[in-house]
Amino acid sequence: MRTAKKLVFVGLSLSSSWGNGHATTYRALLKGLAADGHELVFLERDVEWYAANRDLPSPGFCKLTLYASLSELRGLLAEHANADAIIIGSYVPDGVEVIDLAASMTPRALAFYDIDTPVTLGKLARGDEEFLARRQIPLFDLYFSFAGGRALKKLESEYGAKKAVPLYCSVDPDQYGPTGESICWDLGYLGTYSPDRQPAIERLLVEPARRLPDLSFVVAGPQYPADIDWPENVERIDHLPPLRHPSFYSRQRFTLNVTRADMIALGHSPSVRLFEAAACGAPIISDRWDGLTDLLPDGQAILIADTTEQVIDILQRTSAARSQDIADTARRIVLATHTGSARARELVEAIDSVLQSRMIGCA
């Protein structure tokens, strides 16, 4: 095992999974890091909407500290000045100021973990610097990216990133696995409402539900507008905490993966829900984007659908044996290459390369 590191994360949320996919991503990654003996600190802005919905207030795998202001964060970062790396996440409140503050402390290694790379690049192209300024990208020794493929070249060639490294989201196999429960729904979807995802949900789930009234469907996730016209055979669940995700996925005959428009445009951007569903043994129907079949081969580990008719055909014609084979193949792939432990090793290897290069430069 590599030498244990002290790593300080400043992220959107670890304590609450309400309305975000960051918390489960961080939980899987940090658990993997902790299992390898690394010392971990997670600094999270104390905000009202997460305070009211904390499903992991006391993680056993790291030290979680909530802070109320930038001045309080300054003191916390100074307290951990001996860290091997400070890693700032995307969508951190007052992110631009947080990054400047961390950079001013000249840490041994400074990294950015972008769990929203396609969204980030889209915002920067429009001049929107909500949580990251364009001028700050060259400050990072490492830019860990949720997206691979051409996003990495774009970050380095157009935005001046010193080193862009893919660090996809991951799944915690201790938390996500088949429960063996009976099937309740023929097709389901889990995700927070997003206007750019909703047309695909309408096309790939809502319209099939209208045309197949004898089948059962479900959509789980918060913030859906009250005026959406859900068919009677579509059940709605407002919020589903992570502890209930395995049961939710295990009770679906098929589960739907739908990708945000920015992620489709950029490609190579798997969502955490994709890996979680696969780990739970749910056969996945997904929209199409570049790089998906590199992760899960179409027809072998996933079924790709572009139209309502294709979803209907899958629901009506796919045998139980074939859907089980597809689910089993996806689960084997994900547990071999997309766990928190796998991501932890990738992250530490990249940080090691930075620290070692600096030691050589000082020799």
pLDDT digits 0-9 by tens, 225-280: 999 999 999 999 998 888 999 999 999 999 999 998 888 988 999 988 999 999 99
Q: Supply the pTM of this predicted model.
A: 0.87
Radius of gyration of the chain (CA): 21
Question: Among the residues of 7-107, which ranges form H helices?
Answer: 22-35, 48-51, 70-79, 95-104
What Cα–Cα distance (Å) separates residue 356 from each residue in 103, 109, 141, 349? 20, 11, 12, 10
Looking at the fold, whether 131 and 38 belong to one and the same domain comes out as yes
Looking at the fold, whether 324 and 354 belong to one and the same domain comes out as no
Average pLDDT, the chain: 95
Instruction: Assess if residue 176 is contained within a domain.
Output: no
What Cα–Cα distance (Å) separates residue 90 from each residue in 74, 87, 240? 18, 10, 23
Can you tell me the distance from the alpha carbon of 308 to that of 209, in angstroms, rounded to the nearest whole number? 10
Range of the domain at 63: 6-170+340-362
- Note the pLDDT of residue 1: 45
* Residue 362 clears pLDDT 70, i.e. is over it: no
Q: What is the pLDDT of residues 131-174, one digit of tens each?
A: 999 999 999 999 999 999 999 999 999 999 999 999 999 999 99
- CATH number for the domain spanning 144: value is 3.40.50.2000
Question: Among the residues of 59-178, which ranges form H helices?
Answer: 70-79, 95-104, 117-125, 150-157
Looking at the fold, whether 204 and 333 belong to one and the same domain comes out as yes
Instruction: Assess if residue 1 is contained within a domain.
Output: no
Contact 10, 102 (CB under 8 A): yes
Looking at the fold, whether 133 and 244 belong to one and the same domain comes out as no
- Note the pLDDT of residue 21: 84
